């Protein structure tokens, strides 16, 4: 009795080679099943998709035209084409693994496994000042606001330009009052520059007063899409 064991789904394209083996008593046919994996899929970031990020993916198949390639992914992410051979994958929060399959003119060419992870960390800076205490003189020197995803995120060219943020000024006398009535100054700023209105609040700040920045929105270097950066900055005047 001949038994053939399938270890991959039948929908995959199989290459079948039949080799005839002869002996003095019988002739057998040995069937070899070969599962092609010709596609070259580069995660661009160590085969990791970061949740909520636009993860760049490059796909190619040796000897095939990029315009003949199509890809699909398993549950857990969405993939869209930027241009032939280049795609963006966005992973869902509860996903753990994503498999991206490559086809050329309807023919299966391979798949790649991606791990799904959370973004390592966020950061926010007022000039060169991070969260903590700073002198009034040092705070007044700063003129630009920055926010992003930190050095632990291995995205090349991951530079964001802040387009909007919230400024919050709370005097020390109100730091322990309910949040909705504590702030003496709260407004939204367009752009990433420290505006004259912000400078005025800082000039009048006293020791112990708190300056906060949050609600960051930004665009990438290609300015294609606005994203929210859930970072926050708090500086106490010393």
pLDDT tens across 54-93, in order? 888 889 988 999 999 999 999 999 999 999 999 999 898 8
Predicted confidence band of residue 222 (pLDDT cuts 50, 70, 90): low
Q: Are residues 210 and 127 in the same domain?
A: yes
Consecutive H or E run containing 202: helix 196-203
- Residue 108: predicted pLDDT: 93
Q: Domain boundary at 73, 97, 117, which?
A: 117
Asked whether residue 67 falls in the same domain as residue 138, the answer is no
Left if phi > 0, otherwise alpha if psi is -120 to 50, otherwise beta: which for 93?
A: alpha
Looking at residue 62, which CATH number applies to its domain?
A: 2.60.40.60
Q: Determine the pLDDT at residue 178.
A: 52
Q: What are phi and psi of 68, to 5 degrees?
A: -90, -5
Local confidence band at 176 (pLDDT 50, 70, 90 cut-offs):
low
156 and 87 co-located in one domain: no
Are residues 150 and 208 located together in one domain of the fold?
A: yes
More confident residue, 101 or 24: 101
**For residue 95, how many other CB atoms are within 10 A of its CB?**
17
Q: Which of 117, 142, 170 is the last residue of a domain?
A: 117
Q: What is the pLDDT of residue 84?
A: 92
- Asked whether residue 96 carries a pLDDT value surpassing 80, the answer given is yes
Cβ contact 37:105 at 8 Å: no
Q: Which domain holds residue 134?
A: 123-237
Q: What is the pTM of this model?
A: 0.57
Residues 77 and 166 in one domain: no
Q: How far apart are CA 202 and CA 210, in angstroms?
A: 10
């Amino acid at each position: 009795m001949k038994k053939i064991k399938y270890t991959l789904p039948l929908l995959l394209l199989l290459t079948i080679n039949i080799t005839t083996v002869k002996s003095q008593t019988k002739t057998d046919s040995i069937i070899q099943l070969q599962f092609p994996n010709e596609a070259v899929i580069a995660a661009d970031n160590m085969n990791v998709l970061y949740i909520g990020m636009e993860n760049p993916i490059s796909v190619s198949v040796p000897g095939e035209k990029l315009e003949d390639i199509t890809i699909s992914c398993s549950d857990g992410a969405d993939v869209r084409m930027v241009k032939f051979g280049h795609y963006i994958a966005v992973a869902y929060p509860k996903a753990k693994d994503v498999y991206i399959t490559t086809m050329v003119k309807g023919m299966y060419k391979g798949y790649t496994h991606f791990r799904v992870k959370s973004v390592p960390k966020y950061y926010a800076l007022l000039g060169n000042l991070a969260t903590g205490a700073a002198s009034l003189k040092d705070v007044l020197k700063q003129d630009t606001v920055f926010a992003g995803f930190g050095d632990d995120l291995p995205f090349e060219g991951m530079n964001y330009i802040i387009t909007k943020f919230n400024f919050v000024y709370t005097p020390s006398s109100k730091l322990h009052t309910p949040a909705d009535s504590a702030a003496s100054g709260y407004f939204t700023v367009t752009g990433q520059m420290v505006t004259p209105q912000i400078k005025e609040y800082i000039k009048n700040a006293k020791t112990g007063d708190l300056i906060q920045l949050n609600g960051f929105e930004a665009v990438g270097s290609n300015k294609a899409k606005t994203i929210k950066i859930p970072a926050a900055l708090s500086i106490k005047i010393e």
